[in-house]
Amino acid sequence: MRALDILWTLFRKDLRIEWRQRETLASICVFGVLVVLLFNFAFTPAGEESLRLLPGVLWIAFAFAGILGFNRSFAAERQNACLDGLRLAPIEPGLIYLAKMLSSLVFLAIAEVVIIFATALWYNFSFVPSIKWFVSIVFLGTLGYVGVGVTFGAVAANTRMREVMLPVLQFPVVVPIFIAAIEATSGALRGEASSQFASWVRLLVVFSVIFIVLSFLLFEYVLEE
Amino acid sequence: MRPGTIPAEHVLEVRGVSKYFGDFSALRRVSLRVAGGESLLIYGPNGAGKTTLLRILASLVQPSEGEIALDGVRVERHSTAYKKRVGFVSHQTFLYDELTVRENLRLAAKLFGVRNLETAIDSALGLFSLQDRAADIAGRLSRGLQQRVTLSRALLHDPDFLLLDEPFTGLDAASVVALESLLRQLPMQGKAVIFSTHDFAQGASIASRMLELDRGAVRYDGAMTDAPWAALRARPEEAVRG
């Protein structure tokens, strides 16, 4: 019960800080939409070609928006050594990870909604026919991506070139997530039977669960100097 | 107050602690025993290892060798029971710039599981006359006011051991007097105060005991009244020359 209370307290703290400074959400939304827009101008896809490009374009936009968000999510903690302030508290270090993961998930999910709307508009594409699977895949992919991103965001927060270090450290690890997410999104958007992309969805679930559980258990070592 | 004049309910022990950062040894086999009711000044020139020792005691840094024990029991990594009994004031404020003073204190109080939250916060605010600043955004406060909030934050959960690293930094005259008075009162309530300062006279007027560190090793550990005063006065000059 106390763990849930702590989790809620830390999560609300992140939301309140974001509400006051409005930096993370604004920047990741704008950046994600710009990526989609640039791809649209570069390829000017139409019809079947849109369907072929869309999954990749969407996940590239999510990836870039996410990397910006993960860097920002630890900016407030670096200020005045607030992360040390959290480490002084008699709480399970994994709760700091879970709270940061939840707030990053909310911010990235909001950005993804904006990016998907912009994509539907510019690519003249309707996500409605495959909405159930599409939303599930985006959720699972984002969950896994955020699970990894927060861990490496915390690692990079203690390094000097953190803005550079984060993508360098993180992208090799999240490659399986993006491959699975793009393949599954592609299948869902084409209207294929779910059995045809179910293995990719399973991979997303397994990867997310393993990484989140491991990060929760090992986060105390990540936070150490 | 001399060490040992108050029954030691709580004992914090540092047993042969060393800390290496690569090839550099910040602490070398430091051993120390601090009981409730003691007020310990950690003194030494820059780079002596004062901050590292305090950060190890606050469990922010793990020692490379040795261990910390509380009431005879070895403190495990991230021991919540230990953290509940320690308050720490660092060079950094640990304050979120975007939150108000009260929100910062409320966050700390919740994380430390403080009961009667608002009463405890009001009481902590009152210690350093911060009641009128409770609704102010922490990032807009002066350094001195932020330091007062940091001190209030460290005392919120009524710790048995208060660790302070250069706590007088940025404080105005009135706040310095209030903090000095508090640091003298806490040992009388059975709490232990462990602090570092560069102002030797100020530290000597508060502490009952002194630990002098020099390049990571203990140079003197004993009662303030028995300290080799003349030698102590000479050492800062040695440090400057050296």
Could you read off the pLDDT of A185-220 as tens digits, one per residue?
999 998 888 888 999 999 999 999 999 999 999 998
The lowest-confidence range among A16-20, A43-47, B18-22 is A43-47
Is pLDDT above 60 for A50?
yes
pLDDT at B13: 93
At A163, list the tokens: 């803005």
Distance from CA of B38 to the nearest CA of A (A): 22
Query: Residue B201 pLDDT more than 90?
Result: no
Residues in contact with A171: Cβ distance below 8 Å, sequence separation at least 6, in sequence order: A63
Q: Does A218 touch chain B (CB under 8 A)?
A: no
> Is A15 in the B-facing interface, judged by CB distances under 8 Å?
no
Question: Measured between beta carbons, which residues in chain B are less than 8 angstroms from residue A85?
Answer: 94-95, 108, 153
pLDDT at A225: 64
- pLDDT tens sequence across B166-194: 998 888 888 889 889 999 999 999 999 99
Calculate mean pLDDT across residues A143-153. Answer: 93
Residue B240 has what pLDDT?
Answer: 45
Cα–chain center distance at A34: 17
Please tell me which of the candidates A82, A84, A91 has its beta carbon nearest to residue B60: A84
Euclidean distance between CA atoms B182 and B159, whole angstroms: 13
Tell which wins on pLDDT, B78 or B213.
B213
Residue B6 per-residue DSSP state? S
List B98's β-bridge partners, or say none.
none
pLDDT band at B149 (very low <50, low <70, confident <90, very high): very high
- Sequence-distant (≥ 6) Cβ neighbours of residue B109 within 8 angstroms: B117, B120, B121, B156, B157
Residues 64-103 of A with CB under 8 A from B: 76, 79-82, 84-93
Q: What is the rounded average pLDDT of the residues B218-230?
A: 78
Q: Which of A80, A78, A81, A73 is nearest to A23 (CA)?
A: A73
Q: If you average pLDDT over every residue of chain A, what do you get?
A: 90
What pLDDT shows up at residue B5?
A: 45
B14 has which bridge partners?
B32, B68
pLDDT band at A61 (very low <50, low <70, confident <90, very high): very high
pLDDT score, position B6? 44
- What average pLDDT score do residues B132-159 get? 93
Contact A84 B94 (CB under 8 A): yes
More confident residue, B219 or A163: B219
Chain B interface includes A163 (CB < 8 A):
no
Confidence band of B230 (pLDDT split at 50, 70, 90):
very low
Mean pLDDT, range A156-178, rounded to an integer: 85
The model carries a pTM of 0.88
Q: Check if the beta carbon of residue B59 is closer than 8 Å to that of residue B30.
A: no
Helix boundaries (H) for chain B: 50-57, 80-84, 101-111, 117-127, 143-155, 173-188, 200-206, 229-241
A218: chain B residues, CB-CB within 8 Å: none
Confidence at residue B228, expressed as pLDDT on a 0 to 100 scale: 67
Q: How confident is the model at residue A167 (pLDDT cuts 50, 70, 90)?
A: confident
Q: Answer whether B100's CB lies under 8 Å from B138's CB.
A: yes
B45-56 per-position pLDDT tens digit: 888 999 999 999
Tokens describing residue B237? 């000059």
Distance (Å, rounded) from C-alpha B145 to C-alpha B101? 10
When pLDDT is cut at 50, 70 and 90, the band that residue A5 belongs to is very high
Residue B233: per-residue pLDDT:
58
